[in-house]
Amino acid sequence: MSHKDDPSLAVVHEEAQRGLDTQDKTSERIDTKAAATLAFTGLLITLTRHDERLFVSAGRITAVAAAVIALGAFFPWPRRRMLELKRLRRYLAKEAAETTRYLVLLKTGYEDRIASEISQRRLALRMALILVVVSMTLIALGATLSDTREVVR
């Protein structure tokens, strides 16, 4: 019996593959956003490194925290289709349907695991972005308060 004889197996196999492909794209988008967040926080830190005003310093420290959390958005590294090739060898002599069934089980198991990892990475990225906004607010507030004090003098 081939997977052509078992239409539900073919459907599940296609859906599992689509799910993994979607998760790969989502993971790549998270990586891209985390990298941009790291670059932006690095820029904030660099541009304010000589500024010792209280709010600006607090903003710089918050930017460092955002960078650390954004770096955490890269982890855990997604286990993209880690097929254990040694285990697949035993399916060389098996029927195509049995091999396909095994691959479907592997893919759906990976899909569940990767979904959990993506959820954690999204949360880390959101936290980093919130800290970037707080950092920018503190830096702007520090610069504004200093400018206001200079005008009053």
For each successive 10 residues of the chain (153 residues), what is the average pLDDT? 62 79 88 94 93 94 96 71 63 77 78 84 95 96 74 49
What's the length of the chain? 153
Task: Please name the residue ranges forming H helices in the chain.
Answer: 7-47, 54-72, 85-88, 96-152
Share of the chain above pLDDT 70, in %: 82
**pLDDT, averaged across the chain:** 82
pLDDT tens digits along 32-74: 999 999 999 999 999 999 999 999 999 999 999 999 999 998 8
